[in-house]
Structure 1
Amino acid sequence: MKKVLVVLLALVMVFSFAACGGGGDDADNNNGGDAAGNSYDSIPDTMTSDDGTYEVAFVTDVGQLKDNSFNQFTWNGVKGYANANGLSYKYYQPANGNEATDADRLEAMSSAADAGAKVVVAAGFLQGPALQQAAVAYPDTMFLFVDGWTLQDDEGNDLQNVAAVVYQEEQAGYLAGYAVVMEGFTKLGFSGGGGGTNPACIRYGYGFVQGAEAAAEVKGVDIEMKYSWEYGSSYSPSPDLQAMLNGWYQAGTEVVFECGGSMYQSAFAAAGANDAYVVGVDTDQSGLSETVITSAMKDLAGSVEDVLAAFYAGNWSDFGGKCVTLGAAEGRVGIPTDTWSFQNWTVEEYNTMFEDLKSGNLVVDNTEISDPSTVSWDHITFVN
């Protein structure tokens, strides 16, 4: 696959406050390094503090820490900010791995707070119930809920020590779906993690379908779409997932948007065996496999670093008790231009569409529809 080097997306990063679960914004993805110029890979995942306490903590979502996706790039923001500012840091993985319970997550958060964490970053919507309990139990510890929402105490008051950040994944998904159809692909697939319960994955997928539909209208073509949440509950690769995707490709599917943690490993293997393509997720995954034609991205590291910076600047009140929605208007979602591989849709055309998203001239529906086949489409037929 030919890779054409072009200029990186460089967009102003401005936070916009909105009710979570509703409308959106979008963000530029920082895959490179921290504010001090260190690459994230060069920053150790473990460090030993002088006094045995760890000031900035991260509690992982299900799946692996180094998943080249959601966990890893949220963690990059945590360790990147801490390292650049001389702060101690540590990550905590809830017990029982992909079978972790709310009690396991609460234990991890409690361990972080007891070890001196001033700020705990918790990744993933599954953290909600445990995070609510931890925030009540540790009122002097601040919590950042990534892919979350505002949480309340037992009296229904918004917890001021919890800040939430969500993204307009539907915009990134839309851009990816539009791009692959404009490139000329008409047989697409979506394979999602979380069994159809993860709001972020749902938004990615529904946006992908909307983008494909819009491009199909422009080109006057019809699209066949396979859409599945099977074998994705743990966000991990598996022989069953790889076999399913291999069957898709052998039946003619050209591009699959694989959306869920380390599931991409199965997608890359299946695509590679069939000379086919994958859309990466959360970060630019083109460096992991030549099968990646583009990636639907959100700037996890950059937005986490921004909230941590606000806390240490004494501005936590700007975020505590609120949910910040980030999308194109903030430069926090998109597809990568530095690894552009499309021949039939240009970076200039992409930038024009991105500006329409930023300005609100183009609006992507963010309704959380886990089964888009229940919606009427003019140019898309869902197939088994």
Structure 2
Amino acid sequence: MTEPVEDLLRECAPQVLAALVRRYGHFDLAEDAVQEALLAAATQWPDDGLPDNPKAWLITVAARKLTDLLRAEQARRHREDTVARWALPEDWLTPPADRGTANSDDTLVLLFLCCHPALPPQSQVALTLRAVGGLTTAEIARAFLVSESTMTRRITRAKATIKQSGLPFTLPAPAERADRLAAVLHVLYLIFTEGYAATTGPTLYRVELSTESIRLARIVFHLLPGDPEVAGLLALMLLTDARRPARTAPDGSLIPLADQDRTRWNAAPISEGIALITAALPHGPVGPYQLQAAIAALHDEAPDTAHTDWPQITLLYERLMTLADNPIIALNHAVAVAMSQGPRKGLDLVDDLSTDDRLTNDHRLHAVRAHLLALTGDHEAARTAFRTAATLTTSLPQQRYLRARADDTHR
């Protein structure tokens, strides 16, 4: 299958799934039908050429597959007469935007459906990453710091709950929306993170994921423009993604923040992100996405690492740690402390974090420790830590960078 066809199928898959769930309401069977339609497209399109409307083609094929699956299931329950009366509505193939409002964006509705209130928050996030973000179960497991088998069971149970719920394919009522919004925002954040710094594979980016997460965040912001956390998340994504052009060398190797050519950062999203977070901070409680966006803004506004406002970043991370029990936030705080108060202070905090089981096998802990050890002049220990970090990451650019750091550390 050619890369353009693969990219197109990846883009269309969640939209087709959303269309089927909106019409029929059978999440698990709809996903099976979509997978069959995608397989048919992957087999036929390279030889026959792309149809005039690929999304409509996929919806039509998936709808037929789903009808077959539903008829088989209904036959077992002696209800084939109900299925025989089903017919597609006249606007079945009309794109959501043509039906008048961002409220009808099927992908957004699918996001809220995956954040079903009967599901635990982690299952809400996992199911949405699978159905909308297109991440594999292994990638989702790494995002949650759990085993792949645990994540497989979690997603399977979540799909079964969705099937049994009978929840209509509509946006939740305003009274329910706040309870499910936090999970939706977390989903978008994880999708963006996987796109911006892929956990596995030969490249640092999965641009299709970061682009899609920003698109969805814009939709949520359009629907809820007065929510400061929604604005904070969108700002965080824009301010972070703006640095992407400078994060890799021509050969694809990773360039750390301190060594990036900041003239290559994209000015437009930086300006937009700063405007968003500046407008959001004075309104309502300050949440974790606003704090992270404020940190990103301080990085983007600084001319270089030496002139970054590290004391302010340290304070923001300290406030962030009061809101979320996340070891990566604590690790980033240790880096900020090291930059503002010296590497030994940061190392003390990293050593405290080394007892956290959630970080034991995370390459980021060892990479930070290696960097700080090098700053203190303990080059032998730094080399060992860099090599340990390289063995723990499944990202090839990260592996190459960490091994190079180990080799370049002064003896």
Q: TM-score, normalised by structure 1?
A: 0.23
Higher helix proportion = 2
Find the structure with the greater CA-based Rg: 2
Q: TM-score, normalised by structure 2?
A: 0.22
* Relative contact order higher in (CA < 8 Å, ≥ 6 apart): 1
